Amino acid sequence: MPAPSCPLPVSARLAWWGTAWLRGTVGPDDAVHAVLGDDVAHVLGPGLPEPVGSGVLGALLGLRSAGADAASGLGLALPVEGDLLGLGGPRELNRAALDAGEAVVAVGAGLALVPSYVGPTVEWAVLPAARRQLPDVGEADRALRGGLLEAAEGLAALDVAKWRPEVADRLMDLRHRATPYAPPGVPARCVDLAARAVQALEVVDLALEDDGAAVSASEARARRDALVPLERAGRRALVAACSPEVWPPA
Residue 167 has pLDDT above 80, yes or no: no
Mean residue pLDDT across the chain: 87
Answer with the residue of higher pLDDT: 217 or 175.
Answer: 217
What is the pLDDT at residue 93? 98
Over 60: is that where the pLDDT of 172 sits? Answer: no
Query: What was the pLDDT predicted at 175?
Result: 58
Could you read off the pLDDT of 194-245 as tens digits, one per residue?
999 998 898 887 777 665 455 566 776 777 777 888 899 999 999 999 999 9
Dihedral sign (CA 115, 7, 15, 130): positive
* Sequence-distant (≥ 6) Cβ neighbours of residue 187 within 8 angstroms: 137, 247, 248, 250
Q: CA 209 to CA 219: how far, in whole Å?
A: 14
Count CB atoms within 10 A of the CB of residue 10.
22
Which backbone phi and psi does 184 adopt, to 5 degrees? -60, 145
The total number of residues shown for the chain amounts to: 250
Q: For the CA atoms of 23, 130, 63, 185, what is the dihedral angle to 10 degrees?
A: 20
Instruction: Count the Cβ atoms, other than its own, within 10 Å of residue 197.
Output: 28
Phi/psi of residue 123, nearest 5 degrees: -110, 125
**157/96: higher pLDDT:** 96
| CA quadruple 204, 210, 216, 220: dihedral, nearest 10 | 10
When computed from its CA atoms, the radius of gyration of the chain, rounded to whole angstroms, is: 18
Sequence spans of domains, the chain: 10-128, 137-246
Residue-wise pLDDT for 67-122, tens only, equals: 999 999 999 999 999 999 999 999 999 999 999 999 999 999 999 999 999 988 99
